[in-house]
Amino acid sequence: MAEVRAARNGDLLLAVDQEGGRVQRFIPTTVGGFQEALVIPTTVGGFQEALVIPTTVGGFQEALVIPTTVGGFESGYTRLPAAACYLDYCHGDLAQAKKLAQEAGWLMAAEVRAVGVDFSFAPVLDVDLGLSQVIGDRAFARDAEAVANLAGAFMEGMREAGMPAVGKHFPGHGGVTADSHLALPVDERAWDDLWEADLLPYRRLIPQGLDAVMPAHVVYSRLDEHPAGFSHFWLQEVLRRRLGFQGVIFSDDLSMEGAAGIGDFAARARLALAAGCDMVLVCNNPAAAASVLESLGDFDAPESAGRLAKLQAQGGLPWSRLRQETRWQQTAALLQNLMAGEAV
């Protein structure tokens, strides 16, 4: 934790995935005149996640994503239940489930903020339509209104801890069976179906100040031929203009098979940025991340830089003080008891 805080500065954004774990070692270094950051992986458990390290390239903050090995919760972080569990724990009582989701959102954000990380890629806004195994219980519910309510409560808890919220996977990954990590899914539904279901959480949460959005590597074939993360239609016409979103747009991981058909990594990055992404992610492939950075040496996007500058988290208690807080103690105990099978 001390290494993270020592390397942290006012121009560096740090992010982890909500399903991630621990940064093993974090050290600053200077490469080619630009301050960058390196994570030295250490094996703890069997899961690989990624730390997003923005670095300055041609006046624009670009994302260098370096893999870190995590897992097992050896770090002392509280294990959160799957998003779909909140309603189950509360026996379908939405009001009670919202309170629980808000407390879980606060706890997650407070713990991540305690080590100096700005944000997590949360909450998931996908609606579970009973098709996507990769979304599955990561979705809050099968009803779009319930997703909007529970994700909104989770987002409110994050904000209470000083953390921005990143909604994903726009416009929705719940209507396809294919996993975009492994293939390019194609959603053949009409606009009205997407508008009434998948887009409803965004329609609700953007007016509430949703800070950032991550689009899906999914093609919505009746509306546009490009995956949403590379689509001017989805990012500019729908997200920016129709929904009025003014926050940051992150690409999903450009290493995923859902992005592979676009071209090499440099092409993927340029097309994602051209479509409207403010920052691109390249996970678990340092060589590809380096090639993207090299290809963007002449890239300049002042509007994106301005949006990214507003995304830094505010406040947060150090880990030792956080664990002394009554709210942390009560929420951590409640979540652990629920996951052990005790009633609310």
Catalytic residue chosen out of the listed positions 17, 128, 187, 252 = 252
For residue 102, is it within any domain? yes
Lowest mean pLDDT among 22-26, 87-91, 242-246, 306-310: 22-26
Q: How many domains does the chain have?
A: 1
Q: Which residues constitute the domain of residue 255?
A: 2-339
For residue 233, is it within any domain? yes
pLDDT at 109: 97
Whole-angstrom distance, CA of residue 165 vs CA of residue 162: 10
pLDDT at 15: 59
C-alpha torsion 49→307→264→126, nearest 10: 60
Q: Is the pLDDT at 16 greater than 90, yes or no?
A: no
For residue 13, is it within any domain? yes
Top pLDDT among 314 and 55 is at: 314
| Residue 252 falls in the annotated catalytic set | yes
Q: In the structure, what pLDDT confidence band is assigned to residue 76 with cuts at 50, 70 and 90? A: confident
Whole-angstrom distance, CA of residue 86 vs CA of residue 107: 15
The CATH number given to whatever domain includes residue 132 is 3.20.20.300
For residue 66, is it within any domain? yes
| Residue 17 falls in the annotated catalytic set | no
For residue 297, is it within any domain? yes
Tokens linked to 69: 């090995």
pLDDT at 1: 45
Q: Where does the chain show beta strands of DSSP type E? A: 15-16, 26-31, 34-39, 47-57, 60-70, 119-120, 166-170, 186-187, 212-215, 219-220, 248-253, 279-281
**Taking all residues of the chain, what is their mean pLDDT, rounded to a whole number?**
83
From residue 39, give the alpha-carbon distance in Å to each of 34, 66, 157, 198, 290.
16, 7, 29, 36, 14
For residue 344, is it within any domain? no
For residue 272, is it within any domain? yes
Pairing of β 15-16 and β 119-120? parallel
Q: What is residue 192's three-state secondary structure?
A: helix
For residue 52, is it within any domain? yes
From residue 317, give the alpha-carbon distance in Å to each of 5, 160, 324.
12, 12, 10
**pLDDT, average across residues 179-190:** 94
Catalytic residue chosen out of the listed positions 11, 93, 181, 300 = 181
Whole-angstrom distance, CA of residue 164 vs CA of residue 166: 7
